Amino acid sequence: MVQINQIVIPCPPSIVTAYGSFGSLPGACDLFDSVNNWLQLSVQPNSYKKLSEGKIEVKDGFTSPFALSPTRRIGFEVTIADGRVEIEDILNTLMNTAIADPTTIQAITVLDYVRPETSDRYATGYTVRQGIFTEIAVEAGTLMFANSGFTGRRLSTGGLRVTFQEFTRRIQY
């Protein structure tokens, strides 16, 4: 079940099959929604920064000022506190799949429950964003292992910083 303050990414069955078995490891919890094969990433609202490419220019008109080119490319930068390396691997796999053919980039779909657009906030509670990850980076922190002896799942206490950029422009004032 999706809750507020989550970034949700629909994933193909091949990724769910490859990475879905980590729930049985020590200290693990499920990464995917069992019904829809969605990767659900919890986000603290204060770690979410909305990005906006472009600016509004105000010009003087004959009788009143008007806005020129009010469209913007929207995106977000977020730090995901969950430092499991599997999350980084899944996002990188999605990214590599999206750019597998250099002539045609496939859009990655993200359901943004953290900061939905105003028009979506009251209608659905989330905004569907289609675009691409422009950065996936492990934040500085301590690298730990779930099991002793440097084996098992790797964890980063710094979390994961992800930047996402939409392909299409939105009308923004």
The model's pTM = 0.79
Say if CB 46 and CB 113 are below 8 A apart: no
Which residues have C-beta within 8 Å of that of residue 156, sequence separation ≥ 6?
83, 85, 138, 139, 141, 142, 143, 144
Looking at the predicted structure, is the pLDDT value of residue 149 above 80? no
Looking at every residue in the chain, the average pLDDT score rounds to: 81
pLDDT one-digit tens code per residue, 21-79: 654 544 445 778 877 889 999 999 999 999 988 777 788 888 888 777 667 888 999 99
Please state, as a whole number, how many other Cβ atoms lie within 10 Å of the Cβ of residue 76: 22
* Pair of tokens at residue 155: 């964890």
Residue showing tokens 């440097």: 150
Say if CB 153 and CB 145 are below 8 A apart: yes
